[in-house]
């Protein structure tokens, strides 16, 4: 039976204000399509693909083209208000929550979900001077098997 977590930290997706401020700073026009895509993405807790987002937006914005959704998402990533979620295989998944958070990845079905874990938010950063790599952030990927992909006989090699 599922346990309940006492203090569940909050997930705060990018706001429209942050988005517009960044557009202005970079001289990019704030279009209705960009607003719509960001709003739709920010409203979700999962990590939809461009196509899923396009599909979800069809009712409200029937004139929004698939191509534009792809392009807008790429722009939002460049603006830093959206991140791409690394997803082995399949399509690119996006997330409008740019705060520090971690991931649960199912090795079998590939499903990925967020995990806000304050205990993992202050890891010491490794010394990457040898690689000449400038670390901006990190996230911990826990992989294993999700509920639906775990057999009742719970052993594997």
Partner DNA sequence: TTGTATGCAAAAGGTTTGCAATGAT
Partner DNA sequence: ATCATTGCAAACCTTTTGCATACAA
Check residue 70 for interaction with DNA (CB under 7 A). Answer: yes
Number of residues that bind a second copy (CB under 8 A): 55
What DSSP line would sit under 60-90, residue for residue?
T-TT--HHHHHHHHHHHHHHTSSEEEP-SSS
Q: Report the nearest approach of a second copy to the CB of residue 38 (Å).
A: 16
Cross-strand pairs, 44:
none
Residue 72 token pair = 């807008």
109 binds, among a second copy, DNA, none (CB under 5 to 8 A by kind): none
Query: How many alpha carbons lie under 13 Å from residue 105 in its C-beta half-sphere?
Result: 15
**Choice between 28 and 116, CB closer to DNA:** 28
Site for a second copy in 111-150 (CB under 8 A): 113, 115, 117, 119-120, 123-147, 150
Number of residues that bind DNA (CB under 7 A): 26
Task: Categorise residue 40: left if φ over 0, alpha if ψ from -120 to 50, beta otherwise.
Answer: alpha
116 binds, among DNA, a second copy, none (CB under 5 to 8 A by kind): none
**Choice between 33 and 103, CB closer to DNA:** 33
């Amino acid at each position: 039976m599922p346990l309940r977590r006492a203090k569940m930290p909050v997930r705060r997706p990018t706001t429209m204000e942050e988005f517009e401020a960044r557009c202005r700073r970079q001289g990019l026009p704030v279009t209705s399509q960009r607003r719509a895509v960001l709003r739709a993405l920010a409203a979700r807790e999962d990590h939809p693909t461009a196509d899923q987002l396009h599909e979800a937006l069809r009712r409200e914005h029937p004139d929004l083209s698939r191509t534009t959704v792809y392009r807008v998402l790429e722009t939002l990533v460049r603006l830093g208000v959206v991140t791409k979620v690394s997803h082995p295989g399949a399509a690119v998944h996006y997330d409008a929550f740019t705060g520090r958070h971690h991931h649960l990845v199912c090795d079998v079905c590939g499903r990925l979900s967020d995990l806000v874990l304050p205990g993992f938010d202050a890891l010491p950063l490794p010394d990457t001077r040898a690689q000449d790599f400038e670390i901006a952030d990190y996230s911990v990927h826990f992989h294993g098997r999700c509920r639906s992909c775990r057999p009742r006989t719970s052993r594997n090699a």
